[in-house]
Chain A
């Protein structure tokens, strides 16, 4: 179908809202899609890492002599070698605290201490086994609450990057493990809490879990003396480019990041991971170097934050929550990564989707001696919701109030102020909750399972999240002389379907079929800036940029028509337009678009801002369970998740994001846990760290959305990558409590945890294992 300049109105609205099959589908089902982990370059050599066996210690010596003698080994590299090519070997998005290889000290078990570069990965692996190191072990701190007051300090002094203004005051700070304390104060918590009819206080915890993308981390660096190219499994090529340019002291235009499809990321492949190391090694080897993790090594790269959340609420005699205090401790691990942003950007929503006049939030990012923590599908919000929605149910139970009515009495509805002071807009939380309750058939009688040892129960939870702000996206739409269109955008398609959704927006504006839009693979030499594929920001921010770029191209085509003498409203085929102007199939029309939302920084100390986020994500989950009280085993018979997506650009993709996120979170809730003993991860393999499979599917799974037009969103849309993760955990814990009267305060909710709780309730607790 030939693209024309002013097609009939009938076609308007035909691309957005259509379940277009994934544009990259054929490449993926035929096994031909490109991923960095399986890529090879001519002349490429391989690096493998020697890692720390102690959690905290000074490096006394590293003996690489035997490794160097292995035939095929080209270099054995320590930080001293790195510092010969890169003066300062430290990197990171919030703090420049992470050394490319351990420098003087090690701070967690698994930290890279030395690297072997060899012609063959097996040779490199074998040589790594011959490296030895001696450490002077130091006391370590593992727990986030202990880290606040411990006299063990993970870092000698703090090194904030220049990126974030609210970290500047931490420059050169000593004798602390706090990488950021975020505070919000609204009203007078102390006074309102003291005066409240009912007072509640609970402490919730979450465990250490991780992303486990099936394509493990991988990066190939091809360093030339005048420019450098990376082939990178990254969610944020623009950030990688900036950070590599900084390390080299080069302008950005000499640094090229190419990103093929990702064997997903879920937040793990953000900011900078293997790239600085790959750079140093390629500079030393003077050949392309590939650093590709094994599955086990992912346990030493990045995880989700474990957390402790102490929550207090004061409730008046009518069941209205009048005061809430949230103290949240985030276990950030040995290097800050993006932890301080998780601490702040999630911290501001710690009080939940409730209308509370007096709120106090303290959210602390803490260094500890374990694998670093960062973003994982929700940016901290699932840990918060786990606490506040458990707390909500426990209060309703204690007050003998219906959990629906208790929430309804306290919901933060549109037009009311959020704890930050921002007036809530496009925040239809009651709509989301009602949909969950409707699908749960909440108002109908519920079968509790009679007198058998199988007890049935149900529960639900609701939540909101503020998209991180302010962030920028840029897009380019290139219309070629045959009328076909190409989109250049930095959003990385790691499975969420962004290429297809972005192409739909271009197609909608230009009135062409989505299938005719080509989305270029990410390549910073041609793809313009994007802050990163993270935090459900892409569809909104990049969506705006893409729409603007397409509109710009359309306007330029119209100007071109005028220039060649076409009458107003002409429906000339685009190809003819170029032919007329350039005398042959030649030329391009380039449209560009940029988007950055308005934003007001939260006031220091109080966290107040009239404009802290451009949109809210809203979710609700409902669960029905059967608890076997003889074994503690929990069977999930129903799991319903509802989100507000604004407008579904691609309905099928939205549904898949909801069910995928909910099921991933079912794993985090029910069984996933990194076991750490004295700083050592003891289950770093898929055999020992179970993730959801077919047999973990709930008997009934529903993944639904409501469409409440996002008034400032592109085509009324907003992102949905994370939102379905928020409520699964507390909905299940609330359902288990409903079934058998035990309240689990720390995930995971596996059979052992539930059985121990049942025994404790009977007054016959089991001994610790």
Chain B
């Protein structure tokens, strides 16, 4: 096995370094080096969305993204969204709309929905379905996720106008 290399990047707003081997993917590094387990590998093919992580402002499939590629990058995970006092509007909406069951895919959904609403604050049902096509939920909580996106959109609008 090849030697590790030290990389430096920003993780949820803080500068960090990590020793990673060439074959380590982003998920392995986040879990192994930083104890962040919100992004999870499931299908291992970038198809289910459970491993969604935002790198330089774009969601990527962490299971297919080699860790060394984030050298110098800005990395954001689901763990950045809440504080002790407050959940993000998207997180709050997922709870209120009961938009999860087992919860394994949920962080991936939360990341993608956050990005969706950043780009399109008032998406239609069709736009929601299209944008979230890369996120699968084996419990099939899809109708509730659509409700949650709309609820989150309203919450964000309320915050913006407050």
Contact = CB atoms under 8 A, between A and B. Distances in A.
Given A25-B100, A26-B87, A295-B42, 11 more contacts: A30-B79, A32-B38, A35-B37, A126-B1, A212-B138, A264-B104, A495-B139, A660-B140, A663-B142, A693-B133, A694-B130
A755 B149 CA distance: 37
Interface in B129-157: 129-130, 132-133, 135-144
Interface string A83-124: 000000000000000000000000000000000000010110
B45 to A, nearest CB: 5
Given A694-B129, A701-B143, A264 B102 contact: yes
Contacts of B103: 24, 27-29, 33, 261, 263, 495
Most buried by B among A34, A687, A703: A687
Contacts of B40: 35, 37-38, 214-215, 263
Contact of B45 (A26, A216, A263, A687): A687
B101 A497 contact: yes
Contact of B102 (A32, A494, A664): A494
A489 to B, nearest CB: 18
Nearest to B23: A122
A188 B139 CA distance: 44
B131 to A, nearest CB: 9
B50 interface: yes
A656 B98 contact: yes
B78 interface: yes
Interface residues of B, number: 51
A264 B133 contact: no
Contact of B43 (A24, A122, A123, A686): A686
Interface in A652-669: 652-653, 656, 659-660, 663-664, 667
A30 B107 CA distance: 7
B136 A294 contact: no
23 contacts: A27-B103, A29-B100, A30-B82, A30-B91, A33-B103, A35-B37, A38-B31, A214-B40, A214-B42, A214-B50, A214-B105, A214-B136, A216-B42, A263-B104, A264-B102, A495-B100, A663-B142, A667-B140, A687-B43, A687-B47, A694-B130, A694-B133, A701-B143
Contacts of A660: 101, 139-141
B102 A294 contact: no
Contacts of A294: 44
A638 interface: no
Contacts of B32: 40
B107 A495 contact: no
A9 B50 CA distance: 46
A686 B107 CA distance: 19
A214 B129 contact: no
A28 B136 contact: no
A656 to B, nearest CB: 6
Most buried by B among A71, A123, A495, A701: A495
Nearest to B39: A31
B81 interface: yes
A239 to B, nearest CB: 20
Given A214-B104, A295-B42, A659-B140, A686 B48 contact: yes
Interface in B30-69: 31-32, 36-40, 42-45, 47-48, 50
Interface string B86-112: 010001001110101111111100100
A26 B95 contact: yes
Contact of A652 (B91, B98, B129, B136): B98
A496 to B, nearest CB: 7
A72 B1 CA distance: 9
A695 interface: yes
A31 B45 CA distance: 21
Given A38-B37, A122-B1, A215-B40, A29 B94 contact: yes
Interface string A345-383: 000000000000000000000000000000000000000
Contact of A29 (B39, B95, B139): B95
Most buried by A among B40, B103, B105, B143: B103
A692 B44 CA distance: 18
Given A264-B138, A691-B136, A31 B104 contact: no
Contacts of A21: 95-96, 98
A663 B140 CA distance: 6
Contact of A262 (B96, B102, B110): B102
Nearest to B43: A686
Given A122-B1, A660-B139, A22 B95 contact: yes
A685 interface: yes
Contacts of B94: 25, 29
Contacts of B101: 264, 495-497, 656, 660
